[in-house]
Amino acid sequence: MNELERTIVTKLLQGDDPALEMLRRQAADAHISKRDFTGAGFYARFSVPPNTPRLEGTPRLVIGDVYAEIAGLEHDAGFLLIVTDGAIDVLECFSVDDAFPEQPKLKRAYYVQPVSGETGALVETPNRDLSWALRDRAA
């Protein structure tokens, strides 16, 4: 992983939860097998060794409560960590800017949570809400 990916994945996997602990172990063993740049972000695809333990009973999980200020972007970027069949699979970075920097430099990463009563609206939060971050976990 490059520096941006490592920082974001570390932030996405922070917290006192057995699933996050398992995913942190996977991230330590994994490497990026492919990067696809979309113009407004990227997809980084992971390769997790077959002998690395998986999350049981988790066909799909998306952790997406991290946003970041990136040098060269007018608007902050969002990140999704997609877990497929119990293993980290894809880190997605997305932005609404027209052009994502070729060599992105992270200025600051932070957690978001939904705004009460506003569908789809997110706001920065100093305290991570793990129940929301892991809300679609099948267990």
For residue 67, being part of any structural domain is answered with: yes
pLDDT tens readout for residues 73-104: 999 999 999 999 999 999 999 999 888 898 89
Residues 32-41: pLDDT tens digits?
999 999 989 9
Is residue 139, in this structure, part of any structural domain at all? no
Please give the model's pTM, rounded to 2 decimal places.
0.93
Number of folded domains that form the chain: 1
Return d(Cα 65, Cα 124) in angstroms, integer.
Answer: 9
Residues in the chain: 139
Range of the domain at 37: 3-133
Band (pLDDT 50/70/90 cuts) for residue 139 is very low
In a domain, 138, yes or no: no
- Structural domain contains residue 60: yes
Assigned domain for 16 exists? yes
pLDDT score, position 137: 67
Question: Among residues 87, 67, 57, which one has the least CA distance to residue 7?
Answer: 67
